[in-house]
Amino acid sequence: MPIYNQKVMDHFMNPRNVGEISNPDGVGEVGNPICGDMMTFYIKVKDNHLDDVKFQTFGCGAAIAVSSMVSEMAKGKTLEEALTITPSLVAKELEGLPKNKYHCSNLGAQALRKAIRDYAKKKGVKIEGLEEKGEEDEEGKEN
Amino acid sequence: MERKTERRVYLDHAATTPVLPEVLETMLPYLREVYGNPQSLHSWGDEAREGIEKARGQVATLIGGNPEEIIFTSSGSEANNLAIKGLAQAQAEKGKHIIVSAIEHFSVLQAARTMEKAGFEITLLPVDKYGLIDPDEVAKNIRKDTILVSIMHANGEIGTIQPIAEIAKKIKEAGVLFHTDAVASTGNIPVNLKEMGVDALSLAGDQFYGPKGSGALWIRKGLRLIPLMDGGVQEGGRRPGTENVPAIVGLGRAAELAKSDMHPRMRKLSYLRDRLIKGILTTIDHTILTGHPSQRLPHHASFCIEFIEGEAMLMLLNSQGIAASSGSACTSRALKASHVLIAMGLPHEVAQGSLLFAMGVSNTEDDVDYALEKLPPIVNRLRQMSPLYAKFIKEQRR
Ligand code: FES
């Protein structure tokens, strides 16, 4: 029995939005405290919307599928909407992950959030939903 | 997992080997008509017993031991547990210090941990960058109360073969018992008890084309051993429980075949191995061969491919019909990088790129070339996704 479902496999085999944005409006880089992997999200913002989202991932199959899914979910959303993407929503959209792979879904949402925070900081704007969580929440959170 | 191709190439013989047709043929009667309990005193029992005793002889011949020194077990792991726990407990009055290497299989490491909880002291021996143990380092760590040293013959993750005879000499001088986990090596390279000079040795059938669920511990005549289980008189009371007769006769036949085919197999496999190693190292940059370059198992080719992670590689290889394995943190249930790679001093992110191929007797040059054709684009694809690689390229440009 394969460990990943078809949806996860699809995003792993054909990841959407892989790569880097030159001159991004925000960059978010996170490391996985559990297994030491890395994820970077790049965003381009237009009229308070995520005009473009790209990612780079150093990690397992689930981590790659998660990044792809997050990028797809985030693209086109307003910044406020994008901030409501949580690891469990990502896992749900992927129709589930193996138990020991749920921690990989944290990375994606965190990296996206960090990219938006980077953008807000650069522009000096306040975005609803961004300040609700403390900085510690962004990183180092396990599962 | 989805597969795009019909071609299938199994290069994961370090995980387990297929059962050879001859081995299966030998086993079948013992799953059908020869169903007696070897302990029974009728002809049904006699037939089963005969099968087991023949296998005992075959296994003994493979390693150069006496048949009565062989204890059949359910696996290499059980053999290792029996050796560590059984010998330590039997020697406890003499001392409570055990030495094992840092790169042992978990069945040795965890058995040692269990003994630690029972009041023993454990010393973990370091290895060098090739995964080799320095015999002098062993000698240095032997104390008055050392009762047992366990160092593996060959490592299944990196292929490195230890200088067991040299190590044994040092241990003998100190009068301490020496067990070697020869699960990865037995049946694949010559294992000669007389040359090695060990007191106990573990082996497993599914590492050399025998069935899963078959293993053995060879233990020098006259040595005391506390069994793991209580029960009947099977295996001299050292391994109670009705014998797994089909598995045992299969193990015996696999041992016999390994003995007679050893050198042609080794010649063929080392050719395939060298072809694969050379191909990978020349076509994929930033790749490290893990383990010793020459002191390694003839079928074993292991690497760390930098900037990418092992599980992702395995999945893409599998989509091309290729089976391999990895010691990356993401591939392990515990999400920990291989203790073997870390013990050799590899940084965590490099260990993440662990990839291991182990060839088998039915593999061909074509199989190797197929892997060599499929792997570089897979690596490339994952590197194009990797933030580590992007950083590396940028820094290089600067
Ligand atoms: S990134 Fe390591 S397990 Fe998913």
Cβ atoms within 10 Å of B316's Cβ, excluding its own = 22
In chain B, CATH 3.90.1150.10 covers 9-17+262-396
- Percent pLDDT > 70 in chain B is 99
Residue B16 pLDDT class (50, 70, 90 cuts): very high
pLDDT at B5: 57
Q: Look up the CATH number of domain B21-258.
A: 3.40.640.10
Quick: pLDDT tens for B345-370. 999 999 999 999 999 999 999 999 99
Quick: pLDDT tens for B100-115. 999 999 999 999 999 9
Rounded-to-integer distance, Cα B124 and Cα B103, Å = 9
A6-121 CATH pick, 3.90.1010.10, 3.10.310.10, 3.20.20.70, 3.30.2130.10? 3.90.1010.10
Rounded-to-integer distance, Cα B29 and Cα B27, Å = 6
A35 in active site = yes
| Structure token pair of residue B326 | 């990895």
- Chain CA centroid to CA B151, Å: 12
Quick: pLDDT tens for B280-320. 999 999 999 999 999 999 999 999 999 999 999 999 999 99
What residues does each domain of chain A span? Answer: 6-121
Q: Domain B9-17+262-396 sits in which CATH superfamily?
A: Aspartate Aminotransferase, domain 1 (3.90.1150.10)
Whether the CB-CB separation of B256 and B215 falls below 8 Å is answered with no
Whether the CB-CB separation of A12 and B315 falls below 8 Å is answered with yes
In chain B, CATH 3.40.640.10 covers 21-258
Quick: pLDDT tens for B209-268. 999 999 999 999 999 999 999 999 999 999 999 999 999 999 999 999 999 999 999 999
Residues of A in Cβ contact (< 8 Å) with B388:
38, 58
- Which amino acid is present at A78? T
Which pTM was predicted? 0.94
Give the contacts of B113 (CB within 8 A, at least 6 positions apart).
B122
Judged against a pLDDT cut of 80, whether residue A141 lies above it is answered with: no
Q: Which chain B residues have any C-beta within 8 angstroms of a chain A C-beta?
A: 1-2, 307-309, 311-312, 315-316, 319, 328-331, 333, 335-337, 348-349, 352, 384-390
Nearest-by-CA chain A residue for B349: A36
Binding-site residues, ligand 1, Cβ < 6 A: A 32, 35, 37, 59-60, 62-63, 101, 104; B 329-330, 335
DSSP code of B241?
S
Quick: pLDDT tens for B236-252. 999 999 999 999 999 99
A60 in active site = no
User: Of A3, A34, A35, A125, which one is the catalytic site residue?
Assistant: A35
Whether the CB-CB separation of B142 and B118 falls below 8 Å is answered with no
Judged against a pLDDT cut of 90, whether residue B149 lies above it is answered with: yes
Phi, psi of A64, deg, nearest 5: -70, -45
Q: Average model confidence (pLDDT) for chain A?
A: 89
User: Of B118, B229, B315, B330, which one is the catalytic site residue?
Assistant: B330
Strands B146-150 and B97-101: parallel
Spacing, Cα B332 to ligand 1 middle (Å)? 10
Rounded-to-integer distance, Cα A37 and Cα A24, Å = 22
Rounded-to-integer distance, Cα A65 and Cα B197, Å = 52
Rounded-to-integer distance, Cα A92 and Cα B197, Å = 58
Rounded-to-integer distance, Cα B102 and Cα B337, Å = 14
Question: What is the average per-residue pLDDT within B188-197?
Answer: 97
